[in-house]
Amino acid sequence: LAKTTQPISMDSYEGQEVNITCSHNNIATNDYITWYQQFPSQGPRFIIQGYKTKVTNEVASLFIPADRKSSTLSLPRVSLSDTAVYYCLVGDAPSNDNQGGKLIFGQGTELSVKP
């Protein structure tokens, strides 16, 4: 399973755009890139997922270059409530026998948004 590397912490101010980059040099052909958000004392929550190029939803955008060895989560105009730990994961897509799907959570990036 591919290992990911991301900054341990980042600081930002309300209203700014935040970009968190994740390295995954050993990503496999079948791996998807997924980002989760976790608030203290809660379980992680899915934010966005992609395979290549760009994905956008109502919460964030995910940019993936052609070589897929890194990805960047972009949070537009953050607010105080975006203060959380953000995890980048790469994981097996299910194989034909549906036995895939294990994910490895790294340390994550602790984002602190200040007023």
Partner 1 sequence: EADIYQTPRYLVIGTGKKITLECSQTMGHDKMYWYQQDPGMELHLIHYSYGVNSTEKGDLSSESTVSRIRTEHFPLTLESARPSHTSQYLCASSEQGAVSDTQYFGPGTRLTVL
Pick the piece of the chain touching partner 1 (CB under 8 A) from 12-20, 57-65, 74-82, 85-93: 85-93
Burial environment of residue 6 by CB neighbours within 10 A (0 to 12, 13 to 18, 19 or more): buried
Pick the binder of partner 1 from 21, 32, 69, 72 (CB under 8 A). 32
Residue 93 lies near partner 1 (rule: CB under 8 A): yes
Q: How far apart are CA 18 and CA 35, in angstroms?
A: 14
Cβ-based nearer residue to partner 1, 16 or 63? 63
Residue 45 lies near partner 1 (rule: CB under 8 A): yes
Pick the binder of partner 1 from 6, 12, 24, 44 (CB under 8 A). 44
Cβ-based nearer residue to partner 1, 10 or 103? 103
If one counts every other C-beta atom within 10 angstroms of the C-beta of residue 91, the result is 19
Classify 80 as helix, strand or coil. helix
Classify 81 as helix, strand or coil. helix
70 with 32: CB under 8 angstroms? no
Pick the binder of partner 1 from 26, 46, 80, 114 (CB under 8 A). 46
Residues that bind partner 1 (CB under 8 A): 32, 34, 41-46, 49, 51, 87, 91-94, 98-108
